[in-house]
Amino acid sequence: MMIYDRAAGELREELEYGAGSLDFLYNTAFGRVLLKAFFCRGIYSRINGAFMRSRLSVRKINPFIKKYGIDLSLCEHTEFKSFDDFFTRRCRFTTYCSADELIAPCCGRLVAYPIADELTLKIKRSVYTLSELTGGIDVSGFGDGVCLVYRLAVEDCHRYVFCDDGELIRTEELRGELHTVRPISEKYRVFSRNHRICSLLRTKHFGEMIQIEVGALQIGKITNHAVTGFSRMDEKGYFGFGGSTIIQLFKSGVAELDDDIRLNSENGTETLVKTGERVARRLKC
């Protein structure tokens, strides 16, 4: 899979974790049986999670770091008690953006999609309604807005932050299955079927927005902190082991995407971004 490395200014091929196993699960008859009976129901996630939280999993850390070239210089500590402790590591992220610049809430691969006036959203080859994604949260004001999809790979820091100052208005948890969020699972319409937590936020500079944390294959837990008010760069929560996704919905006329992200998105290419990095600018209303 090719992604645009923003820091290097070039396209590069992404090393995919477990690509062979995913191909077996999604593209063979027996694999799909296992997927439905064992993986998507969270059974594997619970078993794998228990192992990843155990001391036995420590031996997986160094080979994983070497394989994916993970930089630990920003970590708050580098002595890990388990693979899960390493995976959910805290990093010292900062931002140099001004208040009217929208920042990335996480490290990941970003692609933007327009929200249609009839409150539908075409992601890859699937069409979603906003109500499918968000449950009971009111989405009536988001027509003609923009949707930002951040895909977190296994090598990324899986903690995420608030992108602006504001307050939490409402949260809904939607229980579901656990499909991978990679393109191989597109036909399963994973963003409306996977376990997810939806938050309606009222922000200081970008108005009302919706943020959705989406769990994926191997992930049985999404942890959000119990807060009502928040500041930009405050930690919102974190994912357990695996790949995962954060979706953000903004209303029309609120923000203008950076040119590289807009052009890459139009071409269907994800842009690699870091927590606290600018991705858009507030429009002057």
Q: What is the pLDDT of residues 43-77, one digit of tens each?
A: 555 666 677 888 999 999 999 999 988 999 999 99
What DSSP designation does 188 have?
G
Counted residue by residue, the chain has a size of 285
Return the domain boundaries, the chain. Answer: 1-285
Residue 113 structure tokens: 């999609």
pLDDT at residue 34, rounded to an integer: 42
pLDDT(123) > 70: no
255-257, strands of its sheet edge to edge: 101-103, 278-282, 255-257
Sorting pLDDT into bands at 50, 70 and 90, what band is 20?
Answer: very low
Distance, in Å, from the CA atom of 71 to the CA atom of 202, rounded to the nearest integer, reads 34
Dihedral (CA of 103, 202, 139, 199) sign:
positive
What DSSP designation does 85 have?
H
pLDDT(178) > 80: no
pLDDT(2) > 90: no
Instruction: Indicate whether this model's pTM tops 0.85.
Output: no
